[in-house]
């Protein structure tokens, strides 16, 4: 009911704008195209937008003057929004989703993943595997909506430590108060898959589906994992939540965020990941860098700089 009222209010607001003679283009309800095709070797990848969500930069662990200076250097003027990106890998007879969006759990700005998937020409029932970088609402709550599995045929793959951490109620009692609701969300998001035996945990590094290898990167969460896709000599590294605010954490990767379970380890992983991506020139796909969140990393002074992949329309699509 609350959500219905919010939509009703938004509708009335849009009408008010039109009646006042201001262009309807300024109404806040214009959705953008939510998918973008990429080629990695012989494999097609689709960046999928789950939407955007307002960002509170106070959650970043650094002095406000420092954050303001970094945002100003990138001309990032609040209020800021963060992208929530997921990715589809089309690999032979496997349709592999990397992260699953927020579903209905985090407000009407998110939960657009299945619409984005439909735009790319796929239905949720076709997904064979979901790889979770970690179990946080914006990555895993989209697995389940109203108690039902959104991806009824998919096997959900997740690092064993990650699953055990979030699904153990004893850890909820020990967690910071602001992190506790994440445990409830983890349980409801995974429930239909756990109940039907379709959650497969993995340890360390392994080839999880043909051509995709797991890389442990604990810190943001205990079992946070990267996934490395390799095809015909090309690589794409799915980064999950190594970056929450690009304008801040590329130039100064030691800045952590309130959602980090182990901030020190999270910062260490970020520095290592950026050095690896920059020095080996690896293309990365990130959950919260502006959609599509795919690009390269360059060293820049003591920090790093983001180089988005160029946008190409009418990209060649293998197998179609």
Give the interface segment with Zn ion, choosing from 40-48, 92-100, 136-144, 183-191 (CB under 5 A).
136-144
Residue 50 within binding range of Zn ion, rule CB under 5 A: no
Residue among 241 and 247 whose Cβ is closer to Zn ion:
241
**Contacts for 285 with CB less than 8 Å, ≥ 6 apart:** 45, 47, 85, 87, 98, 236, 237, 238, 239, 292, 293, 294
Contact track, Zn ion, 184-223, x by CB under 5 A: ----------------------------------------
Q: How far is the CB of 86 from Zn ion (least distance, A)?
A: 11
For Zn ion, the closer of residues 37 and 306 by Cβ is 306
Q: Contacts with Zn ion in 83-112 (CB under 5 A)?
A: none
**CB of 17 vs Zn ion, minimal distance in Å:** 32
In angstroms, the CA 48 to CA 275 distance is 26
Instruction: State the nearest-atom distance from the C-beta of 169 to Zn ion, in Å.
Output: 23
Please tell me the count of residues contacting Zn ion according to CB under 5 A.
Answer: 2
- Least Å distance, CB 138 to Zn ion, is 4
Q: Which residue lies nearer to Zn ion by CB, 124 or 142?
A: 142
36 beta partners: 47
By CB under 5 A, residue 241 contacts Zn ion: yes
Q: Give bridge partners of residue 213 from the DSSP assignment.
A: 207, 228
Of the pair 67, 257, the CB lying nearest Zn ion is at 257
What sign has the CA pseudo-torsion 35, 36, 38, 44? positive
Nearer of residues 14 and 53 to Zn ion, judged by Cβ: 53
Q: Does 138 bind Zn ion (CB under 5 A)?
A: yes
Structure tokens given for 203: 């340890």
Distance CA 102, CA 195 (A): 20
Between 86 and 95, name the residue whose CB sits nearer to Zn ion: 86
Stretch that binds Zn ion, among 8-16, 52-60, 120-128, 241-249 (CB under 5 A): 241-249
CB of 236 to Zn ion, least distance (A): 19
Kindly indicate which of the ranges 34-42, 209-217, 218-226, 240-248 contains the residues binding Zn ion, using the contact rule CB under 5 A. Answer: 240-248
Q: Kindly compute the dihedral angle of the four CA atoms of residues 72, 75, 80, 85, in this order, to the nearest 10 degrees.
A: -120
CB of 213 to Zn ion, least distance (A): 22
Cα 273 from Cα 183, distance rounded (Å): 27
CA angle 48, 135, 84 (to 5 degrees): 30
CB–CB of 199/3 below 8 Å?
no
By the rule CB under 5 A, 260 interacts with Zn ion: no
Q: Cα separations (Å) of 277 from 151, 273, 280? A: 32, 6, 6
Please identify, using beta-carbon distances, which residue of 138 and 247 lies nearer to Zn ion: 138
Instruction: Please tell me whether the peptide bond between 158 and the residue prior to it is cis, using omega within 30 degrees of 0.
Output: no
Q: Tell me the HSE value of 220 on the side-chain side, using a 13 A CA sphere.
A: 24
User: Which among 117-125, 148-156, 235-243, 267-275 is the span making contact with Zn ion, rule CB under 5 A?
Assistant: 235-243
**CB-count burial class (<10 Å; 0-12, 13-18, 19+) for 34:** buried
Q: Which residues would be at the binding site for Zn ion (CB under 5 A)?
A: 138, 241
């Amino acid at each position: 009911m609350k959500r219905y009222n919010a939509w009703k209010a938004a509708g009335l607001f849009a009408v008010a704008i039109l009646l006042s003679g201001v262009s309807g283009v300024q109404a806040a309800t214009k959705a953008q195209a939510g998918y973008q095709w990429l080629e990695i070797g012989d494999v097609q990848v689709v960046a999928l937008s789950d939407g955007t969500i307002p960002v509170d930069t106070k959650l970043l662990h650094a002095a406000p003057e420092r954050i303001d200076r970094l945002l100003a250097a990138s001309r990032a003027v609040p209020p800021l929004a963060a992208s929530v990106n997921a990715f589809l890998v089309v690999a032979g007879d496997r349709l592999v989703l990397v992260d699953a969006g927020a579903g209905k759990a985090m407000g009407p700005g998110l939960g657009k993943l299945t619409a984005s998937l439909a735009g790319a020409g796929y239905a949720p029932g076709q997904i064979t595997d979901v790889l979770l970088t970690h179990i946080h609402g914006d990555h895993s709550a989209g697995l389940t909506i109203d108690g039902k599995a959104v991806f009824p045929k998919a096997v959900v793959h997740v690092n064993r430590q990650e699953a055990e951490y979030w699904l153990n109620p004893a850890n909820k009692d020990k967690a910071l108060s602001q992190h506790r609701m994440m445990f409830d969300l983890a349980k409801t998001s995974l429930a239909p898959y756990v109940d039907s035996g379709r959650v497969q945990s993995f340890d360390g590094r392994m080839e999880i589906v043909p051509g995709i290898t797991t890389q442990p990167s604990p810190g943001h969460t205990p079992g946070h994992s990267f996934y490395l896709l390799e095809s015909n000599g090309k690589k794409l590294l799915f980064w999950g939540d190594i970056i929450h605010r690009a304008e801040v954490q590329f130039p100064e990767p030691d800045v952590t965020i309130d959602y980090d379970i182990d901030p020190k380890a999270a910062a260490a992983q970020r520095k290592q990941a950026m050095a690896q991506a920059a020095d080996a020139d690896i293309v990365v796909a990130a959950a919260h860098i502006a959609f599509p969140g795919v690009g390269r990393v360059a060293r820049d002074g003591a920090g790093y700089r983001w180089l988005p992949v160029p946008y190409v329309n009418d990209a060649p699509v293998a197998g179609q």
